[in-house]
A = this chain, B = another copy of it.
Amino acid sequence: MEIVLIGSGSVATHLGLALQSKGIIIKQVFSRNPANAESLATKLGTTFVDDIADLYMDADIYIYALKDSALKSVLRKMNIPNGIHVHTAGSIPMSDFESFTSRFGVFYPLQSFSIKKEVDFREVPICIEASSPEIEQILFNLAKLLTDKIYLINSEQRKRLHLAAVFACNFTNYMYDIASQILDDSDINFEVIQPLIAETAEKIKTLSPYEAQTGPAVRFDETTIARHLHMLNKSPEISKIYSLLSKDIHNRHKGN
């Protein structure tokens, strides 16, 4: 099986390396940024192009790992090859391919990738959607090379999943960031709090987040909440977050 990667960011990089390690041929990398394209092509020991007119036309699958806003504009400039076209995005409906090709799908690895950090794909859920049962089977087999965590998720569900991921990943990380700022201000090393962060993530493997909720807000400990808000009086933004989340946690749990 031959694959062309459209894009050269962290998803393209990790996915390309993982597929190649399973014997899939990465035939070419395309990126509008020649330096990035070359860098990824070098990692993969393959060729790259930065002009879409030079795209290899005979691959089995074209994987578009692009910024959300770039997919359609790249497709518009292309002479569309016959292969299967899939994107890797959480928030783009599969139908964005419809006016360009009849053989398409989605291959969405639900993980937060960084260029610098290695990824164990066995731990990465891959969410699949396809324009036909035949293509679904091909994508399923491709995903199966990498992971057992394969989910058939339609475009409407995937939109919601992406929204949930913003809370579970992006906003969660921002909570860590605020904690880190508070510790910095008191000359406390962030490492003191890392075991708590690890345990908080670990707990929801056996308890639902609703059951796992602890803290002054859930028991509506007004004395502690008032003391915390007083400590935050020089940080109006963080104070606002503290108040809003405490109120909502209390509302969700009151009466229990």
Contact = CB atoms under 8 A, between A and B. Distances in A.
Nearest to A163: B228
Interface in A118-136: 123-125, 127
A36 interface: no
A245 interface: yes
Interface SS of A by simple majority = helix
Interface stretch (A20-28, A45-53, A73-81, A208-216): A208-216
A216 B244 CA distance: 21
A68 B248 CA distance: 22
A218 B187 CA distance: 27
B173 A213 contact: yes
Interface string A220-244: 0101100110011000010011101
A164 interface: yes
B174 A209 contact: yes
A72 to B, nearest CB: 12
A159 B231 contact: yes
Please indicate which of the listed interface residues A177, A205, A249 has the most CB atoms of chain B within 10 Å of its own CB: A177
22 contacts: A69-B223, A111-B199, A153-B192, A157-B187, A157-B188, A159-B227, A164-B188, A165-B179, A166-B216, A167-B179, A168-B197, A169-B215, A170-B214, A170-B218, A171-B175, A173-B203, A180-B210, A190-B204, A197-B201, A197-B204, A198-B202, A241-B244
B69 A160 contact: no
A204 B173 contact: yes
A176 to B, nearest CB: 4
Interface residues of A, number: 89
A116 B207 CA distance: 10
B160 A176 contact: no
A159 B231 CA distance: 9
A101 B163 CA distance: 54
A198 to B, nearest CB: 6
Contacts of A237: 248, 251
Given A157-B187, A183-B164, A215-B170, A207 B245 contact: no
Given A210-B180, A213-B173, A186 B91 contact: no
Please indicate which of the listed interface residues A114, A153, A159, A242 has the most CB atoms of chain B within 10 Å of its own CB: A114
Contact of A196 (B110, B117, B192, B197): B110
A223 B70 CA distance: 12
A244 B236 CA distance: 12
